Structures are given as structure tokens and as C-alpha cells.
Structure 1
Amino acid sequence: AKRAFSDRLLTMRLDLHDAAELGKADFRFDAGRRLKVLIESSGASQGDINNTFKGLRTIVEEGLTPGAERLQAMERTMGADAARELLKARRLTERGGELFMDTIGLPRVLMTTMDMSAMFRQGAVLAFGHPFVFASAAKDAVRTFFHERSAIRLNEALKMGRGTVKLGDKVEDIAALTERLGLYQAPWEAQGSIVSLSTREEGMMSRLARMIPGIKMSERSYILFLNKLRADVADNAIRGWAKSRVPPSENEMKQFIHFVNVATGRGIPGKSLDTILPLMNAAMFSPRLAISRFQVVGETARAFMTPSNRASQLIIKDMLAFTGTNLAALSLGHWAGLWDLEVDPTKADFMKIRIGNTSIDPWAGFKPYATYFARMTEAISKGDFDRLDNIVEQLARSKLAPVPSGIWDAVTGRDFIGRPVKWNTLDFDNAFISRAVPL
């Protein structure tokens, strides 16, 4: 009844608006005008309203999918259901391409679901420099995995419950400040609705998977863990700097927030790769994570070149905590006889914890590149360019998504480690299972 009453009031307001604008004699129903009034009276920010109109123009005039920022604005001003209906006006080829991307992304989602891998891969770089923040985010990840109400509360708190910070004479909402500075927060509530592939966390890039029991539990835990970790690390840094005599500069805050994004696996491919990012997402298992590992190294090198910068100091502290803690733990465990430790960088188990036939990689996605580059260097030094070609091919294959990887195996007749793939039902059944079962 309450909803119906508010709908009637809104209809009356629209009728009055049309009558005032057009005059009673010329009054007629104008869907476009009503939509304009609805958007402008939504209570959203002017930026969201402007982006909504731009998104509508992209859909109606071009038949294309608007960019992520405009899609999110449409959802905030019009609601997810209305925005989803409007997206049906896109060209059939555009919608078909989106369905294709969702379909080939399904095996990847199945492989990464029902686990807490984000904590130990995307979250590990910041874990040792911010242990209490990491522990809080991990606790919330477990809670949101089992309870959707907890996920809703956490999501709202990250948007509107982070408080304010005083920078000089100016008081700012810290959520709005970090958003303006570029802190990435994955749109959890929009997963599977209208937000484009490029805005989703890489482990959850298929809306079809949400129809499978258990996937939604993994999705909200995965996304909200990373959102909370990023937000809390950035907020704590800015609040700490705000207490000093000299408030942080915008460049310092941007530098550290960029580091937080890439440290948690949100690599930024650059404008030259933006147009092909959807194809990269389809072909590669996690292209942003791969890009981010190189960008973390670059940001760390930049920090060492500008050590007086407060953002640089915090980046150096975080990276020393990450590498130092791992090296100390690996060495002490090896000396105590708890596990074996391989120190040859060309070996697959280089700097991993090895207990019997089990290997544990604590390096958050950096270690494979160290091993491949060590092998490449060795091959070049020996002039063995055939081996170099094989190493480069193996590195490329290791980054493929499940479907492209299976196609490569079928075409070449060999799997990733060189075993022959036969054209029989059993081999292809095994190939499918290995690319769909959770890791």
C-alpha cells in the first residue's frame, strides 16, 4: 500500500509538471519528458544524473552498452530493474556478445568458487603491513559467505558509514574522497544485473554462474573482502596523515590509493588496452591480476626513488613487511625441519613451502614470473633459443582461461605439461572436469 501511494503521488507530480510545461490545451502523455523528470527527481548526484542521460543516449542512439561508470549511474538513478529493461534496446549482436562472454567465463567461476583464495592472493600483499585491517576483512569475508544480511550491512557501511576526515580546513566524506581519488570498490549489489564485465572482480565474471547454488555465497564474500580491505587500508592511511601538521597532498593520496588497487589485484591496463580488455578477460584467467603484479613492482621502484614522499614511505613499509615476513617464515621453517625449501629460481618449487608432494606458494602471484624470467635468462645466456620459445609459450598458456586453454590443448595435441591429448571421450571428459572443478 505504501509503495502504491508513493507511485500515485509521483504520477500526480508528473502530470502537474507536464501541464505546467505544456499548458492544459496541449497536454499529452510524453514518456521521454516523464523519464527525464524521474531521473532528475531521483535524489542522485548531478554527476550520476548526467551520466544516466549519456548512458541512455548510448543505448538508444548507438545500440551499444554504456561504460561501467554510466551503467552504475543508471542503476543508482533509475533502479536495477528499469536499467536492465532499457538495456534490451541494444543491438542483438551486442547482447549476443555479452552472453558469449558470460558463457565462456562460467568454467573460471566454477574453478574459483567455494574458497577464500582472495585472502591469500589478492589480499596477501597488504596483510603483513596492515594485520588488524586484514584480520577484520577476513572475519567479515567468512561472515558474509554464510549470511546475506551481513553482506548487505557491510556493503552499505562501505558506501555510507565510513565517516569524515578533516584535511586542513576542509571536512570531507572519506568514502566520496577515496572514490574521487580512484579507490576501486567492486559493485557487489549489481553483480549479475547491468554492470559490465570490466567492473567485476575477475573471479566472478559470469552472470550465468549465479544460478548455481553456492556461487552467490562465494561472490559476495570474495567481492566484499577486497572492498573492505581496500577501503580500510586507504582510510587508515588518510586519517593518519590528516593528524599531522601538514595535510597530505592529493598526489600523495592518489599514489597510495593506486598502490592499494594494484596490490589487491586490480591492475590498470592503460587506455591502449581498455578497448580489448573484454577480450583479454575472455582469453586469460585473470589479466588484471597479472598486470597488477608488474605494476606493484613498478610502484615499489618509484617509491624507493622518492623516499621522502609519505605515500612512498608507506608503500615501502608494506612491501618490506610482505617480502620480509615471507622470507623469514620460509627460512625459519626450513631450518627447523618443518618443510623443504628450493632456492634455485629456475625450479617450479622455488621459494615455496614443500611438504612431501604438497607445495604452498605464499607469494601472491609474483613467484611464477620470477621462475619464468629466470628460465628465460638461463636460456638466453646459453643461446638456447628453442628452449626460450618453449618457455614463452608455456608462460602464455599458464595465463589462459579454461576454455581457451582447452582449445589450445585440442589443437596442439598436448596439455600444459606436455602430456598427449587423445581424441577420445575419456580424455575430453577429464579435460572438461579439470577446467570446471573448484581449485
Structure 2
Amino acid sequence: MNGEDHTPGEKASMKREDQTAKEERTPMTQGDQTLLRLLPVQGRWCLHSYYTVCPYAPDGSGRLLAAGVDPAHGAGEVLVLSREGEVLDRFGRQPVEKTAFYHTGFWQTWSPDARYVYYQAGTWDAPRVVRRELATGHEQSMEGDAEGAPPNGEPLISGLLGMLYAAGYGSGLFRPELSPVLFGDRERHGLFRYSFGPERSELALSVEEILRRHPQRDRLLASEQELKRRLGEDESLTLMAYCVRWNPQGDRLLFYFGNHHVVPSRGEPRLGYVFTSDRELRELHLAVDLSYGRWGVHWSWHPDGEHLIGYGPEHDDGSGHCLAMVKYDGTGYRKISSHQSGGHPSVCPADFNLVVTDTYGDTGELTFIDIRTDTVLKQISLPRKYGERPARGKNPYWVDLHPVFSPDGRYVLVNCFQENGLSALAELDVREALG
């Protein structure tokens, strides 16, 4: 998930990720490297947006959306690439300082008809969302944030992503001054709704309202009182709404509610609740509880639009780790694989039995799993680190693979390093890879 950190204990457990999965994998060979089609952009460190946002143009043209940064000058831009990797258009040049560029680019996203591209501008504490008409270059911009656009059109819905980084994600530092809104001002932040025709923005669902409707409200308020006793009456739980993800049909979304990016030094319980909602944000369901010691990361939609897939507890008491699935209303939670890397899993839109995910470490493993038998069909090692001892966090020396299927399930697109130290997009033909 955008910004989902792991505790030391979780990281240790994820090292065991494949000890329980069936070991029917094919080792990486020199031939595997020929399966990848690299799409480098001259002089640019590139990545696609996120594993939950399809970079393939919805008009079937084969165009791809990416973002690239000129490392020498620290200026990034949105890139439209041809099927062959040629740069067809570039725009939105801006500094990448105080942004999440090295994790998710500018959250560049197609409109349903490929007429427009939406992307982030500004900084964590002063974000803007932009809509660009590709044919004319005309842009509209407003205060706000974006983490992908609905697959069936406006309005966009998003939290304020700067709050994640203010809470400590990526840096391990609590820096509330980076937040565009005070954490404790719960009536002024939450999920925002944005439209460009005509231009309109509004707070659609506040953190205060989510807390009021939360099935564990009393427990959360008790934890907040305990925090106040330790840190002072002016303190509160670092609650926020974030990580909006749309199902492919565009009629439902999920979002996270909690604080699980906040630095451990504050002594807050780790809180992460995955809610789902209809498009109007009226019907809320608590789908997955990842709080008070229940582990889990990276929940997103199954292609059927009815279920979610992600990493979570294996057992009802919250113990164990596994890859799991649940219906949007929180019913039918079940383990689908022993794989427990905490990576970024997706179900193939052409074969619901096939899942792709990735792993962490200096080398990332692009992993294909048959969930009918919990068998790892293939692992391909890809470089996600550059340099001997790079700094941790989101920076030019690390990149997440973030595998994403093409709409027809034929290809998987990833980020990985080239030998020259620049990250690039790379495409894999699924049928060729799996033989």
C-alpha cells in the first residue's frame, strides 16, 4: 500500500515468506532476463504510478503513463510512452523535493477515455491536483491531492497524502508541520472529492465522521485517553483517512483509516482499518481489521469488484501471516496462499487463479502464484537497489517493483534498476514467463 511500513517484527517474519509455500519454483536463469522488455527513457529515473493504478491507456493504443526525474536537477515530469517506449509527450515538470515521487511518481492516471491525464503537483504540505487535456495541453489545477482516478470518471476521491509523511512514513520522524491540516482537526480532513467540469472540491467524509461510525469507536477513544495521560491533553491519536483504491467497475472504493505510519516513539497502538464504500461514501463497511497487533498490508481489489486481496492474519485470533481474500462487506475472510512477503499482490484479470506479487530486499522477486494449489509457479529476480549502502526510505537508490497487470492480463509491468543506476519500466509477457 502506498506508504505501508513494517515493524521490525513484521520484517523478520516476512523473511520466512516462502518457507511454508510449496517449493515448486523455477530458479532465475539468464533466459529469464530475455523475458523482460525494458522501456528506458534517456537520462530519466522512471517508474509507473502504483500497482493499483493501471498505466496502460484505456483506449487500447498501447500507450503507457510513467513519471521520470532528471537526477542531476531533481526535477520530475509526467511521461506518455508509446508501446515501444518512445516518449510521445512530457509535461508537469516540477521539483520532487517534499513529494512521494520515488515511491509513486506523481500518481499519474488516465481518464476513462484517455483524453485527460490527472497528476499530483505541489508538495506534501501544499498539494495540488491537475487535469491535463492531452490533445491541447490545456491544464486545470486546484488545491487538493490524488492517488489515482476512478476508472469510470470524475469525481476523484482522495485523502491528503502529506499526512502520511508528516506522521513518519519514509523518514521515521514525526513532523506534524508537514501536514496540510492539523491531525487533531478531524472535521477538516478525511476523504475529499474533486471535479474539474465544473471545478469543485469538498471534504466528502471527515475523519471525525468515520470515527463516529466506527464499530470500534469506544476502544479507539479509550486508547486516545491513555495517550493524553502520557503525552498531555493537547495530544490525540494520529488518525487519518488515506490509500483510496477503486474497484475496476468504479462503483466501490476502499480506503484505510488509522495511524499505522506514525512513529513508534509516540507509543500509539498501530491502527489500520480497511473500509469499503459505495461511490457516494454513504455505505461504509469495515472489511479488514489490521489493528492492535493484527498484521497486514497492501489491500486492493480483486478484478471481480466484489472482493479484496492482501496480506493479513492467518487465524481468527489475529496470529499468523498469509495472503488472504475477503468480500467487500467484511464477510468470508480466507487464506488463499502461505506467501507472506508483505509485497503488492494482484489477481490476473484473465485468470482469477493467478496472482502476482513481489518481495523486498536488495533484489526483488517477481512472484507468480497459483492460488488453487498455493504453488509458486515462477520467481524472477529483479534489481530494486542501486549502490552498496544506500540510505533506506524512498530515494533514488531504491525502487519497489509494484507489479501491475495489463487490462487483458497478458502483461505485467514493473519498475526495476538498469545497470546505469536509473530505474526503468519493464514489461513481462505472462504466457512466455510461465511457459
TM-score range, shorter chain: under 0.3
TM-score normalised to structure 1 length: 0.25
TM-score normalised to structure 2 length: 0.25
- Which has a greater percent of strand? 2
Structure number with bigger Rg: 1
- Which has a greater percent of helix? 1
